[in-house]
């Protein structure tokens, strides 16, 4: 069976990255699934702790139906902050969990991550850890400062905690306001991490490109989003194709896409009350965004 480990190994060998797309409801998930189905592409469907709380028991039901729709989808817990939430996700049937102990000291982070790995690995579930801090706002998690991943600490962490993949901080950030200055990533740090870790699977969070066109649609239809910017597409291509980044996370781009369409349709049709009309066009936008990412950033078909 082609499990997530298979795709991580393949991503390193064939120089691509899997898309990890966050969802928080039916329309986002349908948009992601339709894109994957269309392009015959694997992907990670990710749920944060707050999205899990929001969707409740519908989460697993929706994910299971999504998996029946297309092959190669994996349900992943994004930014689990405790052993208990990771355990709960595993019991619910998630394929992979992230334990984010990046706020802790490295020794405490190792201890917590190791505890999750012991539990998860005995059940065949993959674990992503995080070292260094990725700034920005992601749901309830807000971090002001970017603390880049230290390459020596990364080696020590991976060795001790026994994670299957590692989220690193090289300049991406969560949310829609990623750079105040130059939009750049620290590939020098990534090189050094790779020198220490060899072909170990690495993960890039906060990798939305923040589509200017969608921001304009939002602002032209009653919204007010100022100074939003994201990671340039070409930097993500380099990360996916020239480095051991096996998973690239996208949340904000999908939120912005769905919001843009909902605002536009409602502004254009003031008497509209059918949610299928505006959410349906949001769903189409999500599909379109995911398809573009798969084609432009993540891989081409012959890499799979
Ligand atoms: Zn993240």
Beta bridge partners of 141: 138
**pLDDT score of 183:** 85
pLDDT computed for residue 225 by the predictor: 95
Cβ atoms of residues 265 and 281 within 8 Å: yes
- The pLDDT assigned to 144 comes to 57
76 within 8 A of 45, measured Cβ to Cβ: yes
Ligand 1 mean position to 89 CA, how many Å? Answer: 17
Task: Specify burial of residue 161 (Cβ count, 10 A radius: 0-12, 13-18, 19+).
Answer: buried
Residue 135 has what pLDDT?
75
Which pLDDT belongs to residue 186? Answer: 95
User: How confident is the model at residue 238, as a pLDDT?
Assistant: 94
> Could you tell me which residues come within 8 angstroms of residue 233 by beta carbon, excluding any fewer than 6 positions away?
209, 296, 297
* Separation CA 202–CA 239 (nearest Å): 10
272 CA distance to ligand 1 middle (Å): 35
Query: What is the distance in A from the centroid of ligand 1 to the CA of 136?
Result: 9
Q: Specify the residue for token string 């409801």.
A: 25
* 275 Cα: distance to centroid of ligand 1 (angstroms): 30
Between CA 19 and CA 36 the distance in angstroms is 10
Calculate how far, in angstroms, residue 245's C-alpha sits from the geometric centre of ligand 1.
14
Angle value at C-alpha 59, between 92 and 211, nearest 5 degrees: 130
pTM, entire model? 0.95
Which tokens in the block code for residue 182?
A: 């130059």
**Residue tagged active-site, from 78, 95, 100, 139:** 78
Q: What is the CATH number of domain 4-294?
A: 3.20.20.70
Handedness of CA 238, 143, 219, 263 (dihedral sign): positive
* Ligand 1 center from residue 67 Cα (angstroms): 23
Q: How far apart are CA 200 and CA 225, in angstroms?
A: 38
Helices (H), 142-251: 151-161, 187-197, 212-220, 233-242
Cβ distance 209 to 196 under 8 Å? no
Query: Of 81, 91, 140, nearest to 113 (Cα)?
Result: 81
pLDDT given for residue 137 in this prediction:
66
What whole-number distance in Å separates Cα of residue 176 and Cα of residue 211? 10
- Could you tell me the distance, in angstroms and rounded to a whole number, from the CA of residue 174 to the centre of ligand 1? 6
Assign residue 255 a region (left: φ > 0; alpha: ψ between -120 and 50; beta: otherwise): alpha
Residues counted in the chain:
304
Q: What is the CA radius of gyration of the chain?
A: 18
How much is the pLDDT for 136? 77
Residues in the chain with pLDDT values less than 50: none
78 is catalytic: yes
Domain boundaries, the chain: 4-294
Distance CA 289, CA 209 (A): 10
What is the pLDDT, as a whole number, of residue 179?
Answer: 84
Q: Are 289 and 211 in contact (CB under 8 A)?
A: yes
Separation CA 117–CA 128 (nearest Å) = 9
CA distance 222 to 40: 37
Q: Which residue has the tokens 């948009």?
A: 31
Query: In the prediction, which pLDDT does 21 show?
Result: 98
The Å distance, Cα 266 to ligand 1 centre, comes to 31
CA of 269 to the centre of ligand 1 (A): 36
- DSSP β-bridge partners for residue 136: 143, 174
| CA–CA separation, 301 and 97 (whole Å) | 27
């Amino acid at each position: 069976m082609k499990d997530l480990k298979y795709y991580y190994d393949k991503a390193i060998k064939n120089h691509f990255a899997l898309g990890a797309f966050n969802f928080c409801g039916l329309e986002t998930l349908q948009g992601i699934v339709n894109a994957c189905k269309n392009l015959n592409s694997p992907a990670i469907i990710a749920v944060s702790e707050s999205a899990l709380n929001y969707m409740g028991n519908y989460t697993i039901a929706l994910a299971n139906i999504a998996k029946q729709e297309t092959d190669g989808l994996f349900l992943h817990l994004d930014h689990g902050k405790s052993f208990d939430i990771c355990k709960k996700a595993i019991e619910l049937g998630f394929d992979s969990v992230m334990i984010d102990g990046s706020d802790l000291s490295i020794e405490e982070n190792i201890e917590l991550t190791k505890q999750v790995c012991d539990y998860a690995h005995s059940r065949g579930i993959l674990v992503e850890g995080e070292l260094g801090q990725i700034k920005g706002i992601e749901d309830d998690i807000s971090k002001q400062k970017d603390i880049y991943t230290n390459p020596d600490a990364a080696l020590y962490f991976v060795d001790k905690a026994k994670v299957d993949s590692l989220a690193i901080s090289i300049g991406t950030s969560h949310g829609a306001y990623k750079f105040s200055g130059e939009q750049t990533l620290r590939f020098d740090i990534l090189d050094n991490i790779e020198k220490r870790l060899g072909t170990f699977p690495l993960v890039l969070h906060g990798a939305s490109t923040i589509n200017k066109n969608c921001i304009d649609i939002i602002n032209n239809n009653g919204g007010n989003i100022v100074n939003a910017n994201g990671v340039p597409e070409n930097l993500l291509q380099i990360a996916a194709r020239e480095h051991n980044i096996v998973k690239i996370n996208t949340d904000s781009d999908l939120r912005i896409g769905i919001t843009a369409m909902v605002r536009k349709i409602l502004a254009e049709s003031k008497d509209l009350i059918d949610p299928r009309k505006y959410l349906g066009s949001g769903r189409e936008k999500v599909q379109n965004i995911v398809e573009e990412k798969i084609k432009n950033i993540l891989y081409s078909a012959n890499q799979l």
